[in-house]
Structure 1
Amino acid sequence: MKKIYCLLVGSLLLSSHLTSAQTLAEKTKGLQKFAGFFPFYWDEKGGRILLEIDKLDQEILYVSTLPNGVGSNDLGLDRGQIGQTRIVKFVKSGPKILLLQPNYDFRAVSQNADERKSVEQAFAQSVIWGFKAEAQEGNKVLVDLTPFLLRDSHQIGDKLEELKQGAYKAEETRSAVFLPNTKSFPQNSEFEAVITLTGKAKGREIQSVTPDPNAVTVHMHHSFIQLPDAQYQPRAFDPRAGYFANEYMDYATPIDQPIMQRQLVRHRLQKKDPTAAVSEAVEPIVYYLDRGAPEPVRSALMEGAAWWNQAFEAAGYKNAFQVKLLPEDADPMDIRYNLIQWVHRSTRGWSYGASIVDPRTGEIIKGQVSLGSLRVRQDFLIAEGLLQPYEDGKPTSPEMLKMGVARLRQLAAHEVGHTLGLYHNYSASTKERSSVMDYPMPRITMRPDGSIDLSEAYGVGIGSWDKRAILYGYQDFGPKADEKAGLQAIMRQTLADGYVFISDADARAAGGAHPTAHLWDDGPNAADELNRLLDIRQKLLARFSEKALAPGQPMAMLEEVLVPMYLLQRYQVEAASKEIGGLYYTYAVKGDGQTITKFVEPAEQWKAFAALMRTISPRELALSEELLAKIPPRPVNYGRSRETFPSRTGLTFDPTSAAESAAATTLEFLLNPQRAARLEEYHARHQDQPGLAAVLDKLLATTWRSKPETGYAGELQRLVNALTLHKMLALAAAPQTPVNVKALAALKVEELKKQLEKEQKSAKDEGRRATAFAALRTIRQFEEAPEKFQPAPALPMPDGAPIGDDGCKEF
């Protein structure tokens, strides 16, 4: 028995040795071979991909993408979404093959190998995956790539759990290689898999977009890409130029130089003849449009994206930027195609531009634009409200479609700009639409007869700042020119021409201070534009009727068209609020001559304050009785959504709640803790600057201390008064509010309290007495525990910007 056991063990060992000694040819016999950057084999019977690794220890680029998404902007898992871009290499250790990611955030750019090694050893690297060699032949190793492909590489499960949609994990029995999009080319190998994540659905969002929310099936794509050659020349980053930065710490930098290195993120582009004023490119930048975009969308997107060629022409290139229709047989995820894709979601959402970038140099290898298909419908809806074109016996105006198409052109240009390396420039709208990288408010004008003119709703062509930015990022100075001096000359001229670049962090903050950095604003002066929009809005609402509703639509749907008209001022309110306690500044570099910082003039601040007070006046908040009579409760299958006003009156349309959401937004911007802190600081430094006390006094004079209104106007006035008190108390109670601001806010509440005590006893109007009673009760709650006080939240505005929190946010 012992002898038989020994023979059996020996037989097994010999069998194992023979298996491991198999050649690649033996192991892949009968399998379908795909030649290319990484040769691989398809095992139809086993459903496996066997990868032939012939580039051990050679760095390559690895990118994972999501070719088939989830379809919800709220979840942020769109079709075509690019995952992390990594430099990796396959490293062999005995029978194991490790996919190792070096740490390129920390480097020593040096010819000294020991210096480079010291940095490599100082910081952690990451092994992304481990393989077992199936066969080996010289420097070639065969591994089973299938488990690597069938994992949740896009970390969808983590994201769904984070968003409280449920706990999900990739299930191998419901996942498989997707061979049609698994290919290999000379410089890239592409792999795709159908991945099913299973779990118990909990969230509304995931349930709304999946046939079975407990099984979420998507596609995940993997690209192994040859790194670009060393001929690309990185360009030094300049904070005034408007480009994204590729950043890393270089420990080989001399002590008297910055250790943090920053390079522009941009495409490779060279002139065939660098000495010529105008030259064709060695290799033009070509973008390909998704074939799924229908007309007239397709033509609009191609035209808008192609505007960028105007900027490259201004930089001395001929036909260097091109837009073409994606070839029929092309895989959109193929790294070789810069892509503009038309993305469908269950709700309107953000469009965005992303890029695959070489982490070593900042070179863009692939630009990818995602445009939400429902966006144009929102522009069409806005145009319906502005034009109210549906009148019996008259043809429908073509201006609505024209406006939607004009916006698509601008949107395509904007998102392509990101994939060329450009940030947003939110200061451009103050210099006559000088950049498509700003967020554009449709330019609405009113003719003498009271009709709306949308002929200039959106700009046409690339902006003048965009041309300066492309010149800085893509000018080919030639091999003998002094590039540093050339770039400095370009920047000096850009500044001399009056262009200023101000981006996201300065424009998006609720307590933002920059008086020209706004999203979806228009005109050189925020307060003037707010007043102009309010004038137009007033006339629009005065005549708003069922003419804004297409034939056959339920009358209740009039509310959807009313929302963007009633809130026409919403973004200009935010812009005007930044004038108050505002500070003009630039991304100045020492010695460049720009204004570094400058207070906003007191007169401008008070002008902005007056415009903001206008937005909370009963006259501006009220809707006509004639219009209110035309909006019935919602019919069956036409329920409320976040696109409609909230209601405190049950099924009926609630105009008071609409007013609450609008007025509360103005007050939130005005009484932001950061703004209040700046008011106090600037006033302390310069007595002519408005202080918080003066602002609160004027606010109370406009609200609680103004002449009492009656009827509907009185109801709205009391609503605004209550909101004002709540926002003042919130300012006094917020943990982030400075002590001096808390003290002033509490003092002004105490002064108001004395007025309310008198009013509760003496006011003849019962509604006003009731408001005073409720206000006093709220003040007492605050006084009992200021640090714990939280006023009841006001109703929010319906969504205006595309729904969601990520990406490039469009109006």
Structure 2
Amino acid sequence: MKKNLLIIMLLLVYAPFARAQKTDDIASKTKNCKKFSGYFDFYWDEAEGKIYLDVDKLDKEFLYLNTLPAGVGSNVLGLDRGKIGNSRIVRFIKSGPKVLLIQPNYSFRAVSSNADERKSVEEAFAQSVIFGFKAMAQNGDHTLIDLTPFLLHDSQQIADQLSDSGQGNYQADESSSAVYLPNTKNFPQNSEFEAIITLSGKARGGEIRSVTPDPDKVTVRMHQSFIQLPDDNYKARKFDPRSGYFDTEYMDFATPISDPIVKRLLMRHRLQKKDPTAAMSEPVKPIVYYVDRGAPELVRNALIEGASWWNRAFEAAGYKNAFKVEVLPEDADPMDIRYNIIQWVHRSTRGWSYGESIADPRTGEIIKGQVSLGSLRDRQDFLIAEGLVQPYEDGKPVSDKMLKLALARLRQLAAHEVGHTLGLLHNFTASVNNRASVMDYPPPVISLKADGTIDLTDAYKTEIGGWDKRAILYGYQDFAPGIDEDKALKEIMNETLKQGFQYISDEDARPAGSAHPQAHLWDSGNNAADELNRLMVLRKQVIDNFSEKAIRQDAPMATIEEVLVPMYLIHRYQAEAASKMLGGLYYTYALKNDGQTVTRFVPPAEQWKAFNALMGTLSPDALALPEKLIEKIPPRPVGYPRTQETFKSHTGLTFDPMAAAESAAGATLSFMLQPARAARLVEYNSRDNTQPGLLPVLNKLIALTWQAPQQSGYKGELQRLVNNLTLKQLLTLAADGSAAESVRGIALLQIIDLKAWIQKASATATGATKANLLFGLSQIKLFEGNPDKFKPAAPLNMPDGSPIGMDDMACGM
């Protein structure tokens, strides 16, 4: 008994000392480290090159996000600087000496007050352990872990992406990786970590070799963020597919069997009126965006002005001063989750700009908007304006029209990308309704004055569009207590439809064979064919008068080509838009009984008008360049090599006007004879015999190319070029195993008929015409030898287009 009492007394005496020793565990482990206080406190061990994280929030959920702040530099691979990876809700849990970072499965829930019901769903679906750690020290509810292995792993799965794209086999090399301290920071609501990651392996692909100094060692930077989730006071809003918003969705197993089990919520910022009953009210807390201080003053002012357009949309929704744009304060850090950022990003080439959001996956609430604008975008618009205005005349002051156009585009671009971060998707039908939305992709609207000069005064819109105001009203209207929100939202949408606004987004506009005749990128006008015809008249005026006045004094004459490219191809997007009228289908995202027309064929007369407009782009007159211009474009001088922005060439070092024509004509023909479009022509004609049908379209195409009277000289050569491209496109369609069999059969019939015509015509033809006919027969013979494996040489590609200095992927423009 005395022995037991002695043990108890010793324990009581030494217990405080033991607790003190345990309390000092974390302190002693980190005594030589630099502490970063914030959301999760962490420590930097300079001697070991390690980050130690103080996990004081066990079992408490937060948002985990990974990004790619320094990328590979290849659009083909898609591993661009600024790429945002997955955002996931996670939490730390502890089991014995282990700490696990676990991701619960929010795709399946039971939104119920019944804890057992919630538990049954949680246990029915797998969760994911993102990473495991060993506890290094512990003090009460604080556990210290070594975060470094987590920071140095391939969080963006770049090795897998390089392998899948045939570039080689790689893996993260810890010996050549390290924490990147300049971007490892801490803030009250988020902790930020960055690392230099080297992927070692054996390069195999040409793309990775073209963008890395040592393709066997691909070094990038990967960033990882731990972000505090918002409180529970946000009210989620039901998603409507007609609203123009991004959405988040999940299955709710607590839903009554009479209701849909899949729940969809739209994504938006939190915004509340101080007085929800007032027609106009100040917000409880405004939405504020901050512009990068590193942007040049002229640019910065344009970005502030363009982004600020959104305040007009919020005013239309009954808010006063709800949306603000300011310059980022000097003491603020753009990595702080509390700041919505518009950053000015430098790249070696022009590229997409992005508007992306960090959002709560549970509710769709946007926590932070982040816009990245490429700094070379304004230069591309400046280049387009140089080609249109040709301002460099000896002895005369240089026009300011180029600068005005570039700044006007930047205003529109800022508004567009900020729109994405407010939750809005693209609206690619806005161009047909007086440019009703900044969420469309706009080309500069150019017109000819009576004297033949170019008018750029209305190139870009200078305000938010009507659709944008209606969309903000739907997403952000704050309803007074007692108002039936579902009913009120339905009334807003009905009024939007009544006002004639249309909405079609990416999935219906981007694919090559898409069908909607009004949904396209970089098009304008309310009728694609009419606008293409108008644009071709303007293009002819520009090309006929194109000269060295398009380049600066002392610029190499060869650089005329850089300015010529966007002028020669100024119709490229409008031609693709017009092609959608062929086999086109008007449709809407209609809901049952909402009054919208669900589907409607494009009238036959409109389809034939589009066909004729497209054929106009293939005529020798449209494809030819003036002789006086060709003579002014010499081979490239030293220091000015060909790039992705110049035309390809069949003629070696010299400028090749035939190759320029080949790239333009080949693109138009591929638009017209796209397999899905061809299949719709067959189907729609079978359902309505007034529809054009594929065979009549092919008959007319052949009549206007191969069977048309042959010209001589340069224009005759252009005509024969189009003949060859037409046949190649027909042969490609007939050999395409993925095309509908009815399409392949009709293409084959056309080829057989054309073969018979060529055989007859070649009997009396001479010279270049006969050579063209014989080459056509040789191509048909190759096809007949093995139709399933036949693949003719593809036409030369046009120089890079999008982003036309004009992509928003997901959200680029």
- Give the structure-1-normalised TM-score: 0.94
> Match for 1:793: what amino acid?
A
1:245 alignment partner in structure 2: 247
Match of 1:767 in 2: 768
Q: Write out aligned runs for 1:278-427 (5 A).
A: 278-427=280-429
2:152 corresponds, among 130, 150, 154, to 150
State whether residues 801 and 810 of structure 1, in contact with CA within 8 Å, keep that contact through their aligned partners in structure 2: no
- Residue 84 of structure 1 aligns to a residue whose secondary structure is strand
Counterpart secondary structure, 1:495: helix
CA distance in 2, matches of 1:566, 1:41: 58
Amino acid in structure 2 at the alignment position of 1:799: D
Q: Which aligned pairs between 1:67-146 and structure 2 lie closer than 5 A?
A: 67-146=69-148
Distance 1:810 1:227, change over 3 A: closer
For residue 78 of structure 1, report the CA deviation from its aligned partner: 4.0
Q: Displacement of 1:223 after TM fit?
A: 2.0
Counterpart amino acid of residue 62 in structure 1 = Y
8 Å CA contact 2:420–2:811 kept in 1: the answer is no
Q: Select the residue among 183, 186, 197 that pairs with 2:185.
A: 183
Structure-2 change in CA distance of 1:784 and 1:170 (3 Å): closer
**Mapping 1:243-642, distance limit 5 Å:** 243-642=245-644
One-letter amino acid matched to 2:800? D
The yes-or-no answer on 1:58 pairing with 2:99 is no
Residue range with higher mean Cα deviation, 192-201 or 404-413 = 192-201
Q: 1:654 aligns with which of 656, 661, 664?
A: 656
Question: Which string of whole-angstrom CA distances, capped at 9 and with x for unpartnered residues, describes residues 749-808 of structure 1?
Answer: 111111101111111x31111111111111122222222221221111111113999836
The worse-fitting range, judged by mean Cα deviation, of 712-721 and 38-47 is: 38-47
214-223 vs 719-728, greater mean Cα deviation: 214-223
Counterpart residue identity of residue 403, structure 1: L
Q: Which region of structure 1 is more displaced relative to structure 2, 531-540 or 721-730?
A: 721-730
Counterparts of 2:506 and 2:227 in 1: how far apart (Å)? 32
1:389 touches 1:547 (CA, 8 Å); kept in 2? yes
Equivalents in 1 of 2:166, 2:331: separation in Å? Answer: 39
Aligned AA (1:773):
L
Instruction: Give 1:7's aligned residue.
Output: none
Q: Can you list the C-alpha shifts for 1:107-130, whole angstroms capped at 9, x where unaligned?
A: 222222232222222222111111
5 Å-filtered alignment, 1:643-792, equals 643-763=645-765, 765-792=766-793
- Code of the residue aligned with 1:770 in structure 2: it is A
Q: Which amino acid aligns with 2:699?
A: D
Structure 1 segment 198-213 matched on structure 2, within 5 A: 198-199=200-201
Alignment length, in residue pairs? 794
**SS of equivalent residue, structure 2 residue 358:** strand
Contact 1:149–1:192 under 8 Å retained in 2: yes
- Where 1:317 maps in the other structure, the secondary structure is coil
- 1:292 deviation in Å? 1.8
Post-superposition CA distance 1:294-349 (Å, at most 9, x none): 13211111111111111111111111111122222433222221111111222211
1:612-635: per-residue Cα shift (whole Å, max 9, x none)?
Answer: 110101111111111111111111
Which residue does 1:3 correspond to in 2? none
Say if 2:355 and 2:808, in contact at 8 Å, map to a contact too.
no
Cα gap change, 1:79/1:19 in structure 2, threshold over 3 Å: closer, same or farther? farther
Any unmatched runs of 5+ in structure 1? 1-17
Q: For the residues of structure 2 that align with 1:218 and 1:419, how far apart are their CA atoms?
A: 26
String of CA shifts for 1:30-63, please: whole Å, max 9, x gaps: 5443333222233333333222212111111111
Separation of aligned partners in 2, 1:664 and 1:186: 56
Change (3 A) 1:39 1:449: same
Shift of 1:172: 3.2
* Per-residue deviation, residues 553-596 of structure 1 (Å, max 9, x unmatched): 11111111111111111001011111111110000000110111
Tell me which amino acid in the other structure corresponds to 1:472.
Y
- Seen in structure 2, the aligned counterparts of structure 1 residues 701 and 434 have a Cα distance that, compared at 3 Å, is same
Q: Could you say which residue in structure 2 is the equivalent of 1:9?
A: none
Structure 2 residue identity aligned to 1:641: T
Match of 1:8 in 2: none
CA distance in structure 1 between the aligned counterparts of 2:326 and 2:168, rounded to whole angstroms = 41
> Partner of 1:280: helix, strand, or coil?
coil
| Secondary structure of the corresponding residue to residue 193 of structure 2 | strand
- Alpha carbons 1:106, 1:251 under 8 Å: kept: yes
Which secondary structure does the structure 2 equivalent of 1:762 belong to? coil
| RMSD, aligned α-carbons | 2.2
2:417, 2:812 within 8 Å by CA — same for their partners in 1?
A: no
Unaligned runs of at least 5 residues, structure 2: 1-19
C-alpha distance in 1, partners of 2:536/2:38?
Answer: 62
Work out the CA distance in 2 between the residues paired with 1:239 and 1:611.
34
Offset at residue 507 of structure 1 (A): 0.7
Distance 2:738 2:181 in 1: 55
Q: Which residue of 1 aligns with 2:161?
A: 159
Q: Which amino acid aligns with 1:437?
A: M
The normalised TM-score by structure 2 is 0.94
Identity %: 66
Does structure 2 retain, via aligned residues, the 8 Å contact 1:243–1:265?
A: yes
In 2, Cα distance between equivalents of 1:737 and 1:315: 48
Cα offset for 1:460?
Answer: 0.5
Structure 1 contact 80–333 (Cα < 8 Å) conserved: no
